[in-house]
Amino acid sequence: MTVVEARGLHKAFGKTIALDGIDLRVDEGHILGLIGPNGAGKSTALNAILGLTQYQGQLRVLGRDPWTERDQLMRDVCFIADVAVLPRWMRVSQALDYVAGVHPRFDRAKAEGFLAKTDILHASKIRELSKGMVTQLHLALVMAIDAKLLVLDEPTLGLDILYRKQFYDSLLNDYFDRSRTIVVTTHQVEDVQHVLTDLMFINRGRIMLDCAMEEFESRYLEVMVHPEKLAAARALKPMHERQMLGRSILLFDLKNRADRQQLAALGEARTPSIADLFVAVMGNHASEAQGAAR
Amino acid sequence: MTTPSNPVTESLDSPVSAPAAMAHTRPLFWSVRRELWESRSIYLAPLAVAAVYLLGFLISLFWLPRSLRTVATNHSMPPLIELAMPYSHAAMLLMATGLVVGFFYSLEALYSERRERTILFWKSLPVSDLTTVLSKALIPLAVLPLVVFAITVALQLIMRLVSLVALLVTGRDAAAAWTRLPLFQMELGLLYSMIVLALWHAPIYGWLLLVSGWARRGAFLWAVLPPLAIAAVETIAFRTSYVGILLRDRLIGFAASAFDLKDAAGVPIDAHFIPLAQLAPGRFLSSPSLWVGLIVAAALLAAAVRLRRYREPL
């Protein structure tokens, strides 16, 4: 089943183009990572999916038009923006009461179960919780909702590595199954490398890369090249070259060039990190991207 | 599976049918509760004012027996009015408190959720913009009047009990004068006044809510200055004051419409005690001004609902 389907999604703020005709398709059971520099249009795309912003082009989420049917859509869609959106004056118990009151698919016992594993007290006000605890609370609320699509916009911004790891662990172990779908944007790409099933790079309102993680692993190869073989390696047209500790690291797209064995003979080969590929892809559009990366 | 007429059991038995079983009013009920959690001044401010007033009243009790004797002998003022005065002052003070709280509540209602970015959380839940705006409009239109009414009644009952005790302790002869106070009639009149005020002021609250949803900053100025400016420009440009009269009528015009301000003999009635015979609900409910106001209020609220869809954090 297709959960999100966008065709020619376009959005401009005055003269700034946030989304420049994006085509996007997310199927049930996938975890899509939307990666891009600040101002690339990630949040705008998510806001359009959530019915928070108007857009041009076609967009269906679970078969609905998010802009005109937001409240019905939100029965099946959950959303964590960033750590700051839970009302600071609210008590934890009130947050549970309220979501239980308005959300038909909220399982309060489940949320209480998640909270019991944390240090969060029911009587605490949200303003008294640490940033990490607020995220834990929001995640507990969201994971207790039997939703079809979960949208995460920089969910772990400003959290330390322990909370971040825990966040994605709970998401995978306690929430995700093949009938749910997750779309996530984050700058902490190393956190999600082994979480995602699909990867999308977006810059200046356009999609720069769209591939499944299986394809990512078989398609891209990073080689730390032996110095004496550098010229031979460069001849194979790497996507990108960088220096580390005096060694050259070359990133290859196997679709264009050479095979795995040939490259492995040039040095130590491994699957690149998402961050390295991101730098390579964006670097190739550097002249274009300069303005947008602010 | 139980019968469909029992939604509670049904929702327990099968989570699949839970969405259907959830009444449409449930999100509204919880949204109103949420407003009460957030804006505790809705009941704390009237409670605090009532407490302060009660303190003043307790101190005044030292003079009560003497003043009641004066009432019995001196007829410069009708004795009923003299007796009713502390009670009506309490009611007026609490009513004014309610108006102030309602004014500032409405200005904040759709503004603070954008300023604090919590609108992203509220919008992530299956609650429509209509339900949200309606729940916020219900606070000044229904919840606050009820809260003010309940607190006033409680305060007046306490005042009456306390003064009864004080009279029994000090001077029994004054008790006769005291029993003439028709408190029940006063409470009915108060309830009527609360309803009249809420209905009459509905377009004002609608305007305040719309501005609070629209303004990016300075909601207070946006709400207050433009109407005043229009009235001023009209006066200067045309030497007329239709807008000014309209504004004043919307603020205080309910009195002439909802009450007979003169009794059968043509004597102006005293605002400290309005007999039930002087209430004019029929005339009030049939006044075009009321209905035009309510239609304007509905239009302003509809605009606020529409506007909220476009609103993002500031």
What pLDDT digit, counting tens, does each position of A121-142 carry?
Answer: 999 999 999 988 998 899 999 9
Average pLDDT per block of 10 residues along chain B, 314 residues long: 41 43 79 96 97 92 68 62 85 96 96 92 93 97 97 93 79 63 87 95 97 94 94 92 92 89 80 83 93 97 95 84
Rounded Cα–Cα distance for residues B157 and B218 (Å)? 41
pLDDT for A56: 92
Question: pLDDT band for position A163 (50/70/90)?
Answer: confident
> Which of A76, A103, A153 is best to mutate for the B interface (most B CBs within 10 A)?
A103
In this complex, do A53 and B312 lie within 8 Å of one another by their Cβ atoms?
yes
- Secondary structure of residue B4 in the 3-state scheme: coil
> Which of B121, B127, B312 is best to mutate for the A interface (most A CBs within 10 A)?
B121
Q: CA of A149: how far to CAs of A68, A84, A214, in Å?
A: 18, 21, 22
In this complex, do B19 and A78 lie within 8 Å of one another by their Cβ atoms?
no
What pLDDT digit, counting tens, does each position of A66-88 carry?
Answer: 999 998 999 999 998 775 689 99
Closest residue in chain B to residue A72, using alpha carbons only: B126
pTM for this entry:
0.86
What pLDDT digit, counting tens, does each position of A94-109 carry?
Answer: 999 999 999 999 999 9
In this complex, do B129 and A71 lie within 8 Å of one another by their Cβ atoms?
yes
In which order are the strands placed within the sheet that holds A77-80?
Answer: A77-80, A149-153, A181-185, A31-35, A198-203, A206-212
List of chain B residues whose C-beta atoms are within 8 Å of the C-beta of residue A146: 15
Smallest Cα distance from A75 to chain B, Å: 5
Beta-carbon contacts below 8 Å between A and B: 85
What pLDDT digit, counting tens, does each position of A194-247 carry?
Answer: 899 999 999 888 898 899 998 888 889 888 888 888 888 888 888 888 888 888
Smallest Cα distance from B37 to chain A, Å: 7
Residue burial A105-119, b: 16+ Cβ < 10 Å; e: rest: bbbeebbeebbeeee
In this complex, do A102 and B30 lie within 8 Å of one another by their Cβ atoms?
yes
* Closest partner CB to A75 (pick from B19, B123, B312): B19
What pLDDT digit, counting tens, does each position of A140-158 carry?
Answer: 999 999 999 999 998 888 8
In this complex, do A102 and B18 lie within 8 Å of one another by their Cβ atoms?
no
E strand intervals along A168-257: 181-185, 198-203, 206-212, 220-225, 240-244, 247-253
pLDDT for A81: 79
Which value does ipTM take for this structure? 0.87
What pLDDT digit, counting tens, does each position of A27-38 carry?
Answer: 999 999 999 888
pLDDT of A111 > 90? The answer is: yes
Mark out chain B residues that contact chain A at CB-CB < 8 A: 15, 18-19, 21-22, 26-27, 29-31, 33-34, 37-38, 116-118, 120-121, 123-129, 131, 309-310, 312
In this complex, do A74 and B123 lie within 8 Å of one another by their Cβ atoms?
yes
pLDDT for A187: 86
Q: Is B104 exposed, middle or buried (0-12, 13-18, 19+ CB in 10 A)?
A: middle
Closest residue in chain B to residue A104, using alpha carbons only: B19
pLDDT for B83: 77
What pLDDT digit, counting tens, does each position of A235-268 carry?
Answer: 888 888 888 888 888 888 887 666 788 888 888 8
List of chain B residues whose C-beta atoms are within 8 Å of the C-beta of residue A104: 18-19, 21-22, 126
pLDDT of A286 > 90? The answer is: no
Smallest Cα distance from B91 to chain A, Å: 31
Rounded Cα–Cα distance for residues A248 and A106 (Å)? 53
* Closest partner CB to A71 (pick from B21, B33, B126): B126
